[in-house]
Amino acid sequence: MKKTGWSRREVLLALAGGGAGLLAGAGWPGRGEAYGRRDYFTWAQLRYPGSWDPSPRAAERFLEALRRRTSVEPEPRRRVVDVGSPELFALPFLYVGGRGSFPSLGAEAEGWLRRYLEHGGFVLFDDATGVADSGFAQGVAETLGRVLPGRGLEPLPADHTAFQSFYLLRDVPGRKLVRPFLYGIDLEDLTPAVLCPNDLGGAFDGDPLGGYTHPCTPGGERQREMTFRLGVNLAMYALTGNYKKDQVHIPFILKRRQR
Amino acid sequence: MTGEGAWVLLNGHPGWIAALAVLGALAVVSGLHSSRGLPPARRALLLGVRLAAVVAVAAAVLRPAREVDLTRAKRSPLAVVLDTSRSMALGPQAPGPALQRWLAEADLGRDLGAFYRVELLGLGDPPPVRDPAEPAEGGTFAGPHTPLGRTLESLARVRPDTAAVVLLSDGRDTERPGVPPGGLPFPVYPVVAGSGPVQDLWIEAVETPPVAFIRTPVEVRVRLGLSGLAPGPAAVTLLEGGRPLRSEVAELGPEGATVSLSFTPTRTGRRAYRVEVTPRPGEATAENNRAQFSLNVIRDKTRVLLVAGTPTWDVRFLSRRLRQDPGIDLITFLILRTPQDLALVPQDELSLIPFPTQELFGQELPSFDAVFFANFDYAPYVPRHFLDNLVRFVRDDGGGFAMLGGDRSFALGGYEGTPLEEILPLDFSGAAPGRAYLRGRFRPRLTDAGLRHPLFQWHPTSEENRALWNALPELDGMNWVLRPRPGAVVLAENPEARTEYGPQPLVALAEVGAGRTLAVASDSLWHWALPHAGAGGEDAAYRDFWTRALRWLVHDPEMELVRLGMPPSPVRAGQELRLRVRVLDRSYEPASGAALGGSLAAEDGLPIPLEWSEQAPGEYASAPVVLPREGLWRVEAQAQAGGAFLGRDAVEFPVEGESPEGLRLGVDRAYLEALAEASGGRAFPLGDRGLIQHLAERGRSQVEVVGRRVEEPWAAGPLLALSVLLFGLDWALRRFWEG
């Protein structure tokens, strides 16, 4: 059947012609004027036996950046959840940091994680070890292999939504450039589990006075900025899924990437 | 009359023939033997005499005779078929009266009675025999149909000996227009009346696609015919429910024109439409200047526009749910960044696109089936006047609209006092500024209406459904609204938050004109998905709620408790009709004992009340009703059970004229000539005596054998006497010459 209604392509063409844009608006209400504003994003962090918290202030610094850069209203501080806690299911974004190794969680906890992933939860594994093929990365891969049998962690392609959910990114930064990839496991049309080998949290972590705990090597502050962008993208990916894969967005994104 | 006849032997027994052959041989042999010594001439004479004697004996014994057939004119049936349909007498150059006069004056019985048995027949299967002296009831030309081809085929079947048919018709077969029957066993001789084309403009046909898709333009092609009138423009209008949808000017050529009318259906189901072409001066009739048709409008995919003021888990799980449904075409716009957010990067390093306000709310809104505002504060992105478009989209175009809660929704979204507020099911005007959003967890409660409404019928049995509901986790936070608007239905509420109007409504519905609206005054319904799964439940409740909510918003027929059946098609004026309706109760079981109301009305007529009776559980039929005239008719039915209103349904359907006669006037000469040629006959102009002469000649050649005469030229006695004389002569001559 020939569809004669409005196509996404037509929308894009219309937009390219100069439709009223978000940023062209005037008379914006002050954000604080709306009473009752609530938090729509919570950084939940998993506490497990082992080195679970290599960057204790990473969440706080990142959430502030997320609040300042996007329309997302994050809860300002992280929430720590223990393995097997039912509280996790009210927190669809889970950060799992670690250094050196990642222990086996046990069958019951792995079932708990499987249920979380299958029903819409998102887990970001962040390897703070700073070396390739660390014990943490291997432990995560083995755990996910048991949680989602038949699937394995694979490098995310360059056109994965995680690289274009807010910023347009080409590289995978972090505190150290260990690997040029993010790794993920697909479930249906989403990637609910992502592993970053480059220590995102280490790049975010800072002191109470506003300084950063660790230098980013070799790219310095530019690399740190790009790491924040990747963090924002991953949070946006968790919140919006494949929204940026919609046909309505693709021509715009391709055009900007070509510049 | 006699035929040419044939020679036969009356006593041609083979034994006799053999005996005579032996006798002849003996006669010759003995004659040759006894005449030895005579001169050859005498010998030949003797032999000839002897042979003549033998032949005479043979003729006397075998008795040769001539058989002659006695024949007469066959007088097979000659059927004179008179088309008695209404079209024969319509228009200023109607052929009926002229043909009737010719029939009376021609007196076929007088000229052709010697050759045929002339019978006057009408149209029908089998064709009725007519008495020429008695006109039919209602006049000679009163038939509502012209089953021309079927009449001739029936005649061939019931009267296969028919010699020929004289057809007095305009050739306007209403069952198979323009297609003469083939394979007839008799020639047909149409008498063609009419001196020229009838002055008329008519709608020849309306071509529609087999189905149309809601909110997708559909093209209707209207073929116009023109005869006897000058070419020129003609206005063609498409109407639905008496309301013009589209009008075009057709440039008529010498034989008419085809014009396309495009429109966009906004409701599913079988819809009825009418096409009209403005009559031109001098037309023979305006009856054929309009045509009705119905179109089955279905939904390809449900097109949903989801607009969210910020990414939230509520939006994330809702869009995930909608994307999982292959029957939904979802377009989402999320506000990922506001001007208050720091850019810090060039635009080219962002994947963000401008919000297409004009395209969404100014142009393409009608292409959607439902629009969701999820925690969306319109003011920074949508000029207020576009909200009027949304209201029209719902009220006039039958679209669905849902507002979902959050800190940018309802009163917090600035909707108080806007046109959109008026179509929402919930009244939030005057909400205290400090109480615009209620924080904290709460356990919602279904109202009585909610317990019965399909949105919350997640399980077939009420007990299991209730258990499923009770197992759902608490929700977290809701918008402060005061009360439902008049006519709205609250399905779920927060019993822990009360105003002077009662508990705070959480989920409410409203019927708004042709469309529907839904309000969910919370942004935490996603708790029924992931958190519920964490507690050991499944997300079926969440999935079913949104599936059913969307289906309800877009008027999915399966979600309707009261559903009218379509009348059989086509319906004709004067026809007795029984309308049927299926009624379900709130649990979607057949509703027995429901109280039904309803009416039937033409576009411009007073409604006719309908009386219903239950035929089977949940199945009701109206008392028979006769539709007095053609046009677009609308039937409505509503049902109540146990004092509760179940719903209503309405169906529009076209009613054709009592007969298709008059849709096309004038003699179809091409049809009549093709019919004559295909049957081996010939068309004759009215008044041409050649028809009578041709039939007479044909009749003369059609004879039948009525008997047989045997002519025996020679009697046996004289032949025997002759043979004796010859034998005696043979004996005497031999004696004399041997002498």
Q: Which pLDDT tens digit goes with each residue over B387-406?
A: 999 999 999 988 999 999 99
Task: Let me know: does A4 contact B366? Beta carbons within 8 Å.
Answer: no
Residue A37's closest CA among B436, B472, B451, B61? B436
Beta-carbon separation of A40 and B310 below 8 A: yes
As a whole number of angstroms, the longest Cα–Cα distance in chain A is 63
DSSP string over B524-554: -GGGGTHHHHHTT--THHHHHHHHHHHHHHT
The full 3-state SS of B459-518, as one line of letters, equals CCCHHHHHHHHHHCCCEEEEECCCEECCCCEEEEEEEEEEECCEEEEEEEEEEECCEEEE
Query: Which SS3 state, helix, strand or coil, does residue B71 take?
Result: strand
Q: What is the pLDDT of residues B220-255, one digit of tens each?
A: 999 999 988 999 999 999 998 778 999 999 999 988
As a whole number of angstroms, the longest Cα–Cα distance in chain B is 173
Q: What is the pLDDT of residues B298-354, one digit of tens each?
A: 888 899 999 999 999 999 999 999 988 888 989 999 999 887 776 678 877 888 888
Q: How far lies B636's CA from each of B488, B562, B631, in Å?
A: 22, 10, 16
Q: Which of A90, A242, A249 sits opposite B351 (nearest CB)?
A: A249
Task: Let me know: does B473 contact B530? Beta carbons within 8 Å.
Answer: no
CA B312-B315-B319 angle, 5° bins: 145
Measure in Å the smallest separation between the Cα of B164 and chain A Cα atoms.
52
Beta-carbon separation of B348 and A21 below 8 A: no
Decide if A115 touches B, using CB distance below 8 A.
Answer: yes
Question: For A206, which DSSP code?
Answer: B
Q: How many residues does chain A have?
A: 259
| Per-residue pLDDT at A254 | 65
Which residues of A are less than 8 Å from B539 in CB distance? 119
Chain-centroid distance of CA B18 in Å reads 79
Task: Let me know: does B418 contact B427? Beta carbons within 8 Å.
Answer: no
**Nearest-CA residue of chain A relative to B211?**
A1
Beta-carbon separation of A241 and B337 below 8 A: no
| Per-residue pLDDT at B1 | 55
Mean of per-residue pLDDT scores for chain A: 84
Beta-carbon separation of A4 and B531 below 8 A: no
Q: Considering Cα of A98, then A101, then A107, then A111, what sign does the dihedral take?
A: positive
Classify A106 in phi/psi space as left (phi over 0), alpha (psi -120 to 50) or beta.
left
Which residues of A are less than 8 Å from B357 in CB distance? 19-20
Share of chain B above pLDDT 90, in %: 41
Classify A135 in phi/psi space as left (phi over 0), alpha (psi -120 to 50) or beta.
alpha
Confidence of residue B739 (pLDDT cuts 50, 70, 90): low
| Per-residue pLDDT at A255 | 67
Q: What is the mean pLDDT of residues B580-594?
A: 83
Which residues of B are less than 8 Å from A34 in CB distance? 377, 407-408, 412
Alpha-carbon distance of A91 to B444, in angstroms, equals 21
Q: Which of A71, A86, A167 sits opposite B345 (nearest CB)?
A: A167
Share of chain A above pLDDT 90, in %: 73
Q: What is the mean pLDDT of residues A217-241?
A: 96
The residues in A 137-176 lying below 8 A from B, measured between CB atoms, are 164-168
Q: How far lies B660's CA from each of A255, B170, B570, B571, B667, in Å?
A: 61, 14, 11, 12, 16
Beta-carbon separation of A29 and B380 below 8 A: yes
Task: Let me know: does B652 contact B272? Beta carbons within 8 Å.
Answer: yes
Please give the residue that has the higher pLDDT: either B434 or B577. Answer: B577
Q: What is the mean pLDDT of residues B447-476?
A: 86
Please give the residue that has the higher pLDDT: either A50 or B706. Answer: A50
Residue A155's closest CA among A194, A189, A192? A194
**Nearest-CA residue of chain A relative to B262?**
A4
**Nearest-CA residue of chain B relative to A165?**
B351
| Per-residue pLDDT at B490 | 94
Task: Let me know: does B375 contact B409? Beta carbons within 8 Å.
Answer: yes
Residue B494's closest CA among B440, B544, B533? B440
DSSP string over B6-61: EEEETT--HHHHHHHHHHHHHHHHHHHHHTTTS-HHHHHHHHHHHHHHHHHHHHHH
Which residues of A are less than 8 Å from B335 in CB distance? 22, 71
pLDDT at A25 over 60: no
Confidence of residue B538 (pLDDT cuts 50, 70, 90): confident
Instruction: Provide the residue type at A36 as one letter.
Output: G
Q: What is the pLDDT of residues B8-47, one digit of tens each?
A: 888 888 998 999 889 888 888 888 888 888 888 888 888 8
Which residues are CB-neighbours of B643 under 8 A, at least 6 positions away?
A: none
Q: How many residues does chain B have?
A: 739
For residue B570, say if its preceding peptide bond is cis, omega within 30 degrees of 0: yes
- Which residues on neighbouring strands pair with residue B581, listed in sequence order? B564, B620
Task: Let me know: does B26 contact B726? Beta carbons within 8 Å.
Answer: no
- Sheet with B328-334, edge to edge strand ranges: B328-334, B302-308, B370-374, B400-404, B515-520, B502-512, B489-499, B445-446
| Per-residue pLDDT at A258 | 63
Question: For A162, which DSSP code?
Answer: G
- Count chain A–chain B contacts defined by CB atoms under 8 A: 205
Q: Which of B383, B434, B526 sits opposite A35 (nearest CB)?
A: B434
Q: How far apart are the first and last CA of chain B?
A: 59
Confidence of residue A36 (pLDDT cuts 50, 70, 90): very low
Alpha-carbon distance of A136 to A100, in angstroms, equals 5
Strands B502-512 and B515-520: antiparallel
Please give the residue that has the higher pLDDT: either B579 or A254. Answer: B579
Decide if A15 touches B, using CB distance below 8 A.
Answer: yes
Least confident piece of the model among A136-145, B515-524, B541-550, B634-643: B634-643
pLDDT at B294 over 70: yes
pLDDT at B436 over 70: yes
Query: Which SS3 state, helix, strand or coil, does residue A226 take?
Result: helix
| Per-residue pLDDT at B472 | 95
Mean of per-residue pLDDT scores for chain B: 88
- Which residues on neighbouring strands pair with residue A94, listed in sequence order? A44, A123
| Per-residue pLDDT at A81 | 97
Instruction: Provide the residue type at B110 as one letter.
Output: R
Q: How far apart are the first and last CA of chain A?
A: 37
Confidence of residue A15 (pLDDT cuts 50, 70, 90): very low
| Per-residue pLDDT at B629 | 84
Alpha-carbon distance of B262 to B260, in angstroms, equals 6
